[in-house]
Structure 1
Amino acid sequence: MSQAEKARHFADLHKKGDPVVLYNIWDAGGAKTLASAGAPAIATGSWSVAAAHGFDDGERMPLDFSLMIVERICATVDVPVTVDFEGGYAVDPSDVAENVRRVIRAGAIGINFEDRVVGGEGLHPIPAQVERIEAITAMAEEEGVPLVLNARTDLFLGTDPDSHKDFMGEAQEREAAYAEAGAGCFFVPGLTDAALISQVVETATLPVNVMMMGPLRSVAELSALGVSRLSYGPAPFRTALSDLKRRFEET
């Protein structure tokens, strides 16, 4: 498949109630292993990629180094590859778009793009984040790749679950704005309440992505809620390191 065909195929994998399951990896070896096991697509996790190469998360890994890893992953597998690109390694919309252009030219067909202010506090205001998404989607059109932009909101991640119901109005506002700007999916990591997930799914026009964490354990249960994409985030990397440590200790 061409890169554009891979992008369209990946977008088609997002089916409400029959989600694409992405077991996030951190290197080309992991990508090849999952592809050979039948994974329909590969997704990186920024925390895992950074930690695996001795960096902290939060765009602390040099951009050129990060892109080298992306290029190796994309060259190793034939399935679509989507990259956790955090906040795009920039703030200005044109700078973000140029950085994402490099991700596309490395072979990826999708990105996670978060609204958290990387290295700062809080979230980007909705109009500012919309400008950034619009710049990315316009650039992707120039490149001829229908990039699947997974618009991540950090409203819920790292906050008290008891307060999540208070964020629903803003979450719905952000989803609508990001969809209008050209996003292809809406990611709500940290949201783990089934009723609230169902509410997001019911009001969203975009496919909804949740992260398997906390009480979220069952793919079947989340499928029943109507989600379209499931991610595992840093959990696979942490499990792999724990297994490595245990096996060494048992030798």
Structure 2
Amino acid sequence: MTFNELHKNSYPLILCNVWDANSARIAEKLGFQAIGTSSAAIACMLGYEDGEKMQFKELCYVIQRIAYNTSLPLSVDMEAGYSRIPTEIVNNIKELATYGIAGINLEDSIVNEERILVDGKSFANIIHEVKSRLNEANLNIFLNIRTDTYLLNVPNKLDETQKRIELYTKAGADGIFIPCLVHESDIKFLVDKSRLPINVMAMPDLPGFEKLKELGVKRISMGDCLFSNISTILKHKLGKVMGNQSFDDIFSADSKS
């Protein structure tokens, strides 16, 4: 089944977000159907803040190592594309395509001093040009377009999200990703208004997978939540080592939990 087809099943695609070769191998061993990267997790692993602070060549190296170590379809979080110029974004995608990626995420916000939402029509124009150039190059890359209306809690976010879904659909998006969308009524409304598969992300108040299936969600991802949780466990374990002046906690029964 192709990556595109995985978004058309009755049950949502559960995407495991990875950050290195080891996490990708574990996801494949546990039976995930596809993996995606987390830009925030990879950036943190390399010592950067999120928001295109690492160099694109550094991202490419990590993607190359992940792709080499798994046979699962791989979607790459490209943030805003590592450029504001469509031709340069396409060139970046083409470089990633040499590693056999199946999809990318592009988001409609950028980070300077803080994260801001860009103009929807301008971003739709970028999507259109990117999609057209990929089609010209016969590159079948799933364009999962992320809108940060809920992440940034913009005014009238439900209406603004609907407008952006319409703009991005017409521009050539293959899927719509709405991080921080958790309320059932909003999810149902946006799923019903969209012709494209809707992707939601792990959040404390996100409904369970069965409920999301009922609401019509087609893709569920993790963002950097898994990486952050593992980092918290690491901090806790290392704190125990230093506090107890012993390695006992590393080998304790809960170390594998």
Does the alignment reach a TM-score above 0.5? yes
Unmatched tracts of structure 2, length 5 or more: 241-248, 251-257
Q: Describe the SS at the equivalent of 1:9.
A: coil
Picking from 122, 129, 132, the partner of 2:116 is 122
Give, in whole Å, the separation in 1 of the partners of 2:104 and 2:130. 10
Following superposition, which runs of at least 4 residues in structure 1 exceed 6 angstroms of deviation? none
Greater Rg by CA: 2
Q: Shift in Å at residue 245 of structure 1? A: 2.8
Q: Shift in Å at residue 137 of structure 1? A: 1.4
Matching of residue 219 in structure 1 with residue 206 in structure 2:
no
Q: Describe the SS at the equivalent of 2:97.
A: helix
What does 1:88-167 correspond to in 2, within 5 Å? 88-119=81-112, 122-159=116-153, 166-167=156-157
Bigger shift: 192-201 or 120-129?
120-129
Which residue pairs with 1:35 in the alignment?
28
Which residue pairs with 2:17 in the alignment?
24
TM-score under structure 2 normalisation? 0.88
Give, in whole Å, the separation in 2 of the partners of 1:64 and 1:41. 23
Which residue pairs with 2:245 in the alignment?
none
Are the aligned partners of 2:51 and 2:110 in contact in 1 as well (CA < 8 Å)?
no
Change in 2 beyond 3 A, CA 1:142/1:32: farther
Give, in whole Å, the separation in 2 of the partners of 1:175 and 1:16. 21
Give, in whole Å, the separation in 1 of the partners of 2:116 and 2:70. 36
Identity over aligned pairs, percent: 32
Are the aligned partners of 1:115 and 1:154 in contact in 2 as well (CA < 8 Å)?
yes
Which residue pairs with 1:5 in the alignment?
none
TM-score under structure 1 normalisation? 0.90
Are the aligned partners of 1:17 and 1:225 in contact in 2 as well (CA < 8 Å)?
no
Bigger relative CO (Cα 8 Å, ≥ 6 apart): 1
Are the aligned partners of 1:16 and 1:227 in contact in 2 as well (CA < 8 Å)?
no
Q: Shift in Å at residue 135 of structure 1? A: 2.3
The AA in structure 2 aligned to 1:203 is K
Give, in whole Å, the separation in 2 of the partners of 1:203 and 1:185. 13
Are the aligned partners of 2:182 and 2:207 in contact in 1 as well (CA < 8 Å)?
no
Are the aligned partners of 1:97 and 1:132 in contact in 2 as well (CA < 8 Å)?
no
What do you get for the CA RMSD once the two structures are aligned? 1.7
